[in-house]
């Protein structure tokens, strides 16, 4: 991944796909810590740990992770914020409702973007009260999490909405191979959704994403570089 152009390597030991089972902390640490140590010993590329458990985050930081990626936005284990603060780690706060097993029951929005923005603002307040510097926080709109396909496409389309840009933090977007893409592509398996992923990544970059989380690194690096050029020119060209 690093040789293919990845700027961050994200390591996770528990699947968070819809309906996935819970992995206990000891098992999760057994899965991720050797990998994090191995990567940190071989490259200076930052390592991120994808966990919502404070104990796993603490061990991962000690093993060499410098970013904690919490899909729950501190809702599952608020103590994780203090761990990130003490470890001087970056903290990704994703928008999510409920748990993976029943998150679609919470996919009800009167005003999608305003609600996502408001709930992320609450998560940021929890983090900063625990001592995480605002500058260390990255936000994730939670594509595919507690969102029907129309909601996932909606947050991608409106990432530059004032309700989200007012939070004034970098955005991480993770559309790669997710099931919401089937609403546009049909019933393709995850590995068959890379072209759809490329379109979603392009759209995300054009509307303001700073980081994209992907599987096919080599291919998506090309996609991001082209989209980045287009976004830079749009920003530099005055509108008529």
For the chain, how many residues are written?
240
Task: Clarify whether 17 is annotated catalytic.
Answer: no
Token output for 123: 């998560």
> Among the options 58, 177, 193, 213, which is catalytic?
213
Q: Which residues contact 230 (CB under 8 A, 6 or more apart)?
A: 206
Residue with the two structure tokens 């840009």: 165
Catalytic residue among 37, 178, 218, 234: 178
SS3 assignment, position 220? helix
All residues at 6 or more sequence positions from 49 whose CB lies less than 8 Å from its CB, including other chains? 10, 11, 12, 32, 36, 56, 57, 60, 61, 65, 67, 68, 69
Q: For residue 178, what are the contacts with CB-CB under 8 A and spacing of at least 6? A: 143, 144, 152, 193
Place of tokens 């909601």: 151
Respond yes or no: is residue 148 known to be catalytic: no
Quick one: which of 203, 116, 183, 104 has its CA closest to 145?
A: 104
Q: Which residues touch 42 (CB under 8 Å, ≥6 apart)?
A: none
Q: What share of the chain is helix, strand, coil (3-state, %, to 5)?
A: 50, 10, 40
Active site positions, annotated = 178, 213
């Amino acid at each position: 991944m690093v040789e293919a152009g990845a700027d961050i390597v994200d390591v996770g030991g528990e699947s968070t796909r819809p309906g996935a089972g819970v992995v206990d902390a000891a098992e999760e640490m057994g899965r991720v810590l050797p990998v994090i140590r191995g990567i940190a010993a071989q490259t200076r590329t930052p390592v991120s740990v994808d966990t919502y458990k404070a104990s796993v985050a603490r061990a991962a930081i000690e093993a060499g992770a410098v970013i904690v990626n919490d899909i729950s936005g501190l809702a599952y284990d608020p103590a994780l914020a203090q761990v990130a603060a003490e470890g001087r780690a970056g903290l990704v706060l994703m928008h999510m409702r409920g748990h993976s097993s029943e998150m679609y029951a919470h996919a009800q929005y009167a005003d999608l973007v305003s609600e996502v923005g408001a709930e992320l603002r609450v998560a940021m307040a929890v983090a900063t009260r625990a001592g995480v510097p605002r500058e260390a926080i990255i936000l994730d709109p939670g594509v595919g999490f507690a969102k029907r396909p129309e909601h996932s496409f909606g947050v991608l389309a409106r990432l530059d909405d004032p309700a989200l840009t007012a939070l004034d933090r970098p955005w991480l977007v993770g559309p790669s191979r997710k099931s919401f893409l089937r609403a546009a592509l049909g019933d393709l398996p995850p590995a068959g959704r890379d072209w759809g992923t490329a379109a979603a990544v392009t759209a995300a970059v054009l509307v303001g994403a700073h980081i994209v989380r992907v599987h096919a690194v080599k291919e998506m690096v090309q996609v991001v570089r082209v989209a980045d050029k287009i976004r830079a020119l749009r920003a530099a060209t005055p509108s008529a």
